[in-house]
Amino acid sequence: GLPASIVASSFGKLVSKQEPAAGLKQEDLARALLFMVTNNIGQVAYLNAQLHKTKRIYFVGNFLHHNTLSQQRLSYAINYWSRGKMEALFLEHEGYFGALGAFLLSQEQQKNQQDEGGGADEN
């Protein structure tokens, strides 16, 4: 009796069948998995945003490149968990931000090593 938008119902019909795989389309299974994973990402993102006291959550990465279903599901999940108080945002060139984040982290680590007297390379 749950609506399709609720996570628990992603695989609900399978559990109630005598033979769960009978009549199952691969695309339906893929969609249910995508929704389940994306809802999970949305809940974890919401919890982290709550922990860090931010209302805007930026999603990046190639997983979202031309993946409107996941973008819509993430927006829905953030809106649902935050009761409309937080916002999911998606960047236009999302695939490059992982590399940018890795670069910035390496710069910070290098600076910390220098500050501690570790003498990081001058490259």
What tens digit of pLDDT does each residue of 25-64 get? 888 788 888 888 898 999 999 999 999 999 999 998 888 8
The Cα–Cα gap between 90 and 60 comes to: 6
Higher pLDDT, 88 or 93: 88
What pLDDT is recorded for position 2?
55
120 pLDDT more than 60: no
Say whether pLDDT at 89 is over 70: yes
Residue 24's pLDDT is what? 76
What is the percent of the chain where pLDDT is above 70?
80
Q: Is 59 exposed, middle or buried (0-12, 13-18, 19+ CB in 10 A)?
A: buried
Evaluated on CA atoms 95, 96, 98, 99, the torsion sign reads positive
Q: Compute the distance between CA of residue 73 and CA of residue 94 in angstroms, rounded to an integer.
A: 17
Q: What is the mean pLDDT of residues 72-89?
A: 94
Res 116: pLDDT: 86
